[in-house]
Amino acid sequence: MQSIEVLKPGIQTTVQDYPGRIGFWNVGVPPSGPMDNRAFQLGNQILGNDKAAAGLEITLVGPELKFHVEAIICLTGAPARMMLNGVSMSQWNAIRVKAGSILKIESIIVGMRAYLCIKNGLKIEPYLNSKATFTLGKFGGHQGRALEKEDVLFLNEEEKFRPCNIIDHQLVPEYKNKWTLHVVYGPQGAPDFFTQEDIASFFKTDWEVHYNSSRTGVRLIGPKPNWARKDGGEAGLHPSNLHDNPYAVGTIDFTGDMPVILGPDGPSLGGFVCPATIINADLWKMGQLKPGDKIRFIPISIEQANALEKIQLQEIETLKYISPPETIPITPESAVCRHIKKINERPDVVYRLSGEDNILVEYGEMTLDLALRLRAHLLMEWVKANINKGIIDLTPGIRSLQIHYDNKVINTNKLIDVLVSAEKKLEDVDKVCIPSRIVYLPLSWNDPSTQKAIDIYMQSVRDDAPWCPSNLEFIRRINGLQSVAEVKKIVFDASYLVMGLGDVYLGAPVATPLDPRHRLVTTKYNPARTWTPENAVGIGGAYMCVYGMEGPGGYQFVGRTLQMWNKGENNIDFHGDKPWLLRFFDQIRFFPVTEDELIQIRHDFPNGDYNLKIEENVLDYGAYKTFLLKNKIDIERFKLKQQDAFEAERERWIETGELNN
């Protein structure tokens, strides 16, 4: 039997592969894969494995495994105590294991994660083209979770003999508690979002790793920015808030005043500013950061980042050390690398870098404008039709499009040149007609699960937040409404247009009412919640979101609905082999159900025993503009009242010191 039995699972041992689950960023599926991808790749290369071979990621304390088959293994990553049949073994080289042997990987000595690679790799059924475990989504790897006692893993049979290799000892890094991480400045910087002093402070600070860190993100402790803006406007009351845009793995995301390095299990969309992104060659270090470690971010140029990545890839391929060139820190000047000014009906276009292989294209002013979202859609369709090689992901935001590309295939500056020239070729937004299904979803208003999340937040994070103990009362107050009943009426009257998918993972929609009079504006939790129930419905800024799964979050709760993601069960509402329910530009309309009714719906829906009402429709932007013009006076009256309440809330925050919390 080609198997390995788990006698003890360790703290968090998961199956991973590299590069992970690529190509689904635009619907909120993270790549996952090894957090220290360099150590993982080197382990597979030592064993002569295929690059996509699956192995084990070990966190802090490793597993105890019984081999029922002869195997060859290699342990890489952070230094760890490894015993084979009671005999100490060394890392970073191939070790033959006889059938019946017991391998113990005990505590990691320094660093955070080690990697057990096995000759030919683990035999795992792929999910969305990868064997990587995404524990939050409960899919991939071994049953979508970390290993447990008595699990059995199987090995691939060898198709052709590949010899093992010896690694140059100089390739084994030094694991420590002080780290230097090279970054590319941007996508958001000074003076638009941060002050110049904020940016200077960011780069001279020795940041401390927070204890509440994970594969989703590494939280950091350090100075709070002074901020260049008083608030985020329609995007939220805190100056870190912006209209949701796509993120890159390794970007440093200010969720309120606390920065978080977004990990390989992190979100693809979000409404917070990001001043820097870790370069590809240093992403591996994120996997070794442990609570209490210190980090210093060093800004370097795209050219230097590309050179370091090229060297790292050569080292992995050859297992030979290459002396790196000296890195020369740059002085961050602007997070904008190209800017096209507005011409007639064509809006401003700004090009920002998120690392060396992501370009964030932003349209127009920082306002909620459907025309800007449609412009991003037109660019996305143009790129699909006209750039045939090197594009990895195209992920739209509210007024932006992030283009993730292979920088070994496409030169950054040349790609920006192509994108600039494309602007003259895009269709007139006023002529756009696009499919827009109307999807009716049940909503349990103020569901007990959301109140539980608020209670947990008050007990474990803070109990003095303006949105506690009632998010609904906070929504009422900040929008200048007379009662919570008025909040409820607006939510159920609104037709929410899906602007993006994956805001909080797995096809979760970020949507806004087509009628501006239904746009309830709130701010997001600061700091964010540590737990949110799956499919909770919340409002943040001017946007509604349905959480795709359990996890952290910051939107103000209004209730809970059914599943946005289908893990393979038979349900006709999920189209083809795509497990996400919604599409870009769908319209969501809620109807009320009780808590008990929703429990039954959530039980029946994944099994195909509850079908949604879905109507085919078209979004005609020209007709929509006519609607806005016809109702202009009433819309402006509503927005003025709302703005007065928003400003009053901000003044309360200033008086109580909330903006400094």
pLDDT at residue 653, rounded to an integer? 86
| pLDDT tens digit sequence for 527-543 | 888 899 999 999 988 89
Which position has the token pair 């952290």? 552
- The pLDDT tens digits of the residues spanning 547-600 come to 988 888 889 999 999 999 987 555 666 655 688 999 999 999 999 999 999 999
> What pLDDT is recorded for position 575?
59
More confident residue, 249 or 657: 249
Rounded-to-integer distance, Cα 107 and Cα 94, Å: 20
CA–CA gap between residue 514 and residue 601 (Å, rounded): 27
Distance CA 281, CA 185 (A): 15
Phi, psi for residue 602 in degrees, rounded to 5 = -65, -30
Residue 174, C-beta contacts closer than 8 angstroms, at least 6 positions apart: none
- Residue 232's pLDDT is 84
**pLDDT tens readout for residues 14-59:** 999 999 999 999 999 999 999 999 999 999 999 999 999 999 999 9
Task: Tell me the two tokens of residue 561.
Answer: 């609905």
Q: For the segment 190-201, what is each residue's pLDDT rounded down to a tens digit? A: 999 999 999 999
Cα–Cα distance for residue pair 580/576, rounded to 1 Å? 10
**pTM of whole model > 0.85?**
yes
List the domains of the chain with CATH numbers.
3-161 (no CATH), 178-319+327-431 (2.40.100.10), 435-632 (2.40.100.10)
Share of the chain above pLDDT 70, in %: 98
| Model confidence at 85: pLDDT above 90 | yes
On the question of pLDDT at 526 being above 90, the answer is no
Q: Note whether 399 and 376 are within 8 A (CB).
A: yes
Tell me: pLDDT of 661 over 60: no
Query: Could you give the C-alpha distances from 547 to 511, 539, 560, 563, 612, in angstroms and in order?
Result: 12, 11, 9, 9, 18
- Mean pLDDT value across residues 127-137: 94
Residue 162 has pLDDT above 70, yes or no: yes
| Ramachandran category for residue 491: left, alpha or beta (phi over 0 → left; psi -120 to 50 → alpha) | alpha
pLDDT-derived band at 442 (thresholds 50, 70, 90) equals very high
125-139, 376-390, 555-569: range with lowest mean pLDDT: 555-569
The whole-angstrom separation of Cα 272 and Cα 242 is: 6
**601-637 pLDDT per residue, tens:** 999 998 888 989 999 999 999 999 999 999 999 999 9
